[in-house]
Structure 1
Amino acid sequence: MPETTTPPKKFTTKADFHHTARADRYQFHDYYLVDDLLEDHHRMARQAVRDWVKAEVSPIIEDAAMRGKCPTHLFRGLAEVGAFGPSLPVEYGGGGMDEIAYGVIMQELERCDSGLRSMASVQGSLVMYPIFKYASEEVKRKYLPKLGSGEFIGCFGLTEPDAGSDPGSMRTTIVDDGDAYLLNGAKMWITNSPIADLAVVWAKDEEGKVRGMVVDADAPGFSAPEIHGKWSLRASITGELVFENVRVPKGNVFPDIRGLRGPLSCLSKARYGIAWGAIGAALDCYDSALRYGLEREQFGKPIAGFQLQQKKLAEMITEITKAQLLAWRLGTLANRGEATPAQISMAKRNNVHMALEVAREARQIHGGMGITSEYPIMRHLMNLETVLTYEGTHDVHLLITGHDVTGLNAFG
């Protein structure tokens, strides 16, 4: 894929996008009254994000996706509604909320677009979280407040061209060079990388141990070419990371974490948010399908009155409700510090697969209109094909559950 000849402008503006005159008619659906299980501060956090999305993002998201242009000016808005590191301490740039609040925020963002939620997931779970968890106090104070405010944009470098589901086979390396490490290698499919101010990067040291570090994007030898031609997550910017003898100050390397436990803990944090976020995409598809089914008439009555359409709608809301309860229970466990990586893996796999199936059924209910930008269905459908794969593929998550229940490792 071709690289950009000039680096993209970091922040867009409202004027860069066409604003649709169509109102965001989304209505939240809660068949089992799961809302009763939430606390007031969860609802307040969700409502703040919902209002912001309807006012600032919904009017431009179709244009952004159609053009493949990331609305980077939304980073400041995401920060203002508490979408970056919601469950991290306030003193380190987070929101000081609990894990359920983090979940409902991700749900509202992905209700609009998976790319929007990806922007927030990467910033909070894959950049701020590892810095908070593993970096020195000096590094925390240097980066976290600016990441939390949206002044800095971060990205997460783990996946490589030849190391996807098997991160242990990564080839990116760091070598001791006196007062710094020399970083060499490449990362692939990195959300936010072409516009990032910094990257949390994972590489192998001279002993073959995986180490994490913060790398400034303006360091000599650091480049982040954009990946073009995506049919999915088109409102989110994706690129590579290329390191050619990049000098990383030793203080920027996480001091006490070695091995895959570090990056995998970050992935668990992100997967948790995806388990909630995917429900939002499913809800948007269901809401649109229900409304379309009630308004569209064929053979003298609304198509929602036909048995096949009612079957689809009934199955959709059933699966959404099951996913809502799964996410809420996972959030309760996470708040108690008891959610295991395998439990998070199951929720990510189940809820994303559910959302993809809901999007497919919704597309059929919309008929030919379902593939147009008049409705969000096809955009969600394309996005969810990627969400099914990133942060662990559907099949890999099945093997994680299989390993957990049998005690037998099927990975190799």
Structure 2
Amino acid sequence: MKKPTPVQHHCIPRILAGQDVLGLAQTGSGKTAAFALPILHRLAEDPYGVFALVVTPTRELAYQLAEQFRALGSCLNLRCAVVVGGMDMINQAQTLMRRPHVVIATPGRIKVLMDENPDIPAVFSKTKFLVLDEADRVLDVGFEEELRVVFQCLPKNRQTLLFSATMTSNLQTLLEHSANRAYFYEAYEGLKTVESLNQQYVFIPKNVKDVYLLHILSKMEDMGIRSAIIFVSTCRSCHLLSLLLEELDLEAAALHSFKSQSLRLSALHRFKSGQVPVLIATDVASRGLDIPTVDLVINYDIPRYPSDYVHRVGRTARAGRGGQAVSFVTEKDVDLIHQIEAVIEKQLEKFDCKENEVLADITKVYKAKRVATMKMVDDGFEEKAKARKEQKLKTLAEKGLLQKRSKKRRRGRAAD
């Protein structure tokens, strides 16, 4: 890091001056350091815990933020704790009672700990900073109750820092309410992708997606690609695709929300450390993850909303580096692609490949797909998926969010 990026240049002095800040900037623009560095600077002057609480929407992002805080604060002997779902709550409560300098949490787990342990709220009674990272997602309707509990446990005189790559109606409302007090930095011109990203498409029938995928992955070395992320729309597709690539002797890690937290961390570690060159993931990996070796993003399934496309392809071509994104487009996806092109104000280029060369492997891929499908039946994935869906609907109903969720989806479709 030789000189600050624009978001760092504008936001760091304001944070050090004690202002609340809302920072909007593209993915890969250095937003994390824009809040981490001033927090660590203030912590060095008056070290105590808990000095800062950072709330982020996904577990993977929480662990990545912790890595970045530890790296930037290594000279301070920084004590940083990650509090997310899927891990032992008793251990997490004990960790919080030891008052680490920085706590990085997902909304659901920190809310449960604050609610169920009467000693935990006092831990945050002197917290100086509250950060909402990926603020558009954290302020989503599903986290209202969680944030209310968090806000009640924090002192009124804290600084609040919100950082996001996309502007939403919730953020706009917040900005209007706090315009006189908060500093607003905007390097945001709508949903944009960076110039160094080469965006392409392949127009294909749905039943040969896997054949084209194998072809592209087998050419990674020739294309000079170190590692690739394949985005799919469902946990089921993610699991099936991982079994298929395994059957085709291609090394890949899979990341989706049906996995336990330890398996999710293990998959991400194997990919980030270069043990496997391919990560298959749902949109749980589309936000914030910064892995410099990712040269290619494949949209195996086209996302429903243009904003999700922008976040997915933002996993490559970060911090001025080049990158490539290839989207598999079927007949049903044409309207979605046109919406994406209209929003990013760019036309995707055709990905060049020889069809006869690609389809030479069709029999091998179809055989492997049949075996992978049988393996998925044997490992009980469908039963797990059904039970999980029932539990999710029950939780949403208990929180009174089923109706809000359907309204939000309709608004999202209208906005896009």
**TM over 0.5, shorter chain:** no
Using the size of structure 2 for normalisation, the TM-score is 0.27
Using the size of structure 1 for normalisation, the TM-score is 0.27
